[in-house]
Amino acid sequence: MKIVIASNNKEKIREFREILMPLNFEVISKKEANANFEVEETGKTFKENAEIKATAIFKKVNMPTLADDSGLEVFALNNKPGIYSARYSEEDGKKATDEKNNIKLLKEMENVKNRKARFVCALCFINSKGKIFNILETVEGKIATSLKGENGFGYDPLFIYNNKSFAQIPANLKNKISHRGKAIAKFLANIKDWV
């Protein structure tokens, strides 16, 4: 069965493929599903944004669709960057990049003692009949004082979990303990009923 991931983010698609392929799901990006348009994320929460994305893509392709909205919440920064995690360093029309986002976060965390943070993942799955299912998972950690590790993407080099950054943890282990990994595990536990 095909599942459309409401994203073109190569790293995200790769993660979903690694997790869903053993169960005989063919994971395709929204581009591969001919739904390559930007969905405006107007929600105020990760859950709302995931549902907005899934619904827009489902309406276009009429196939089972899985969307996620995820990001980093830093407690000392009033849970910023939050739903703006991907575009945190956007400025004067210049697009944000992982590198610029990490530099901005490090700057904002200079001399901050409370470094507690969490990654949040909201998944929204819409089955072939249009029924909507939502999942929310988190993983707690803290923000490093410098970039650590070569793997991962986004804020992974700054997010410390059990004394290692997510960019220092092998992908197969990260997929088990991460916010997205936990959300997908819950999705997989329910998928037979939901599909």
Question: What residues are labeled active site?
Answer: 69
Q: Locate tokens 């929600």: which residue?
A: 43
Please give the angle made by the CA atoms of 126, 70 and 39, to the nearest 5 degrees. Answer: 60
**Which pairs with CB-CB distance under 8 Å and at least 24 residues apart come from 183-187?**
183/68, 183/121, 183/122, 183/123, 183/135, 183/136, 183/137, 184/16, 184/19, 184/20, 184/123, 186/123, 186/135, 186/137, 187/66, 187/123, 187/125, 187/133, 187/135
Contact 178, 164 (CB under 8 A): no
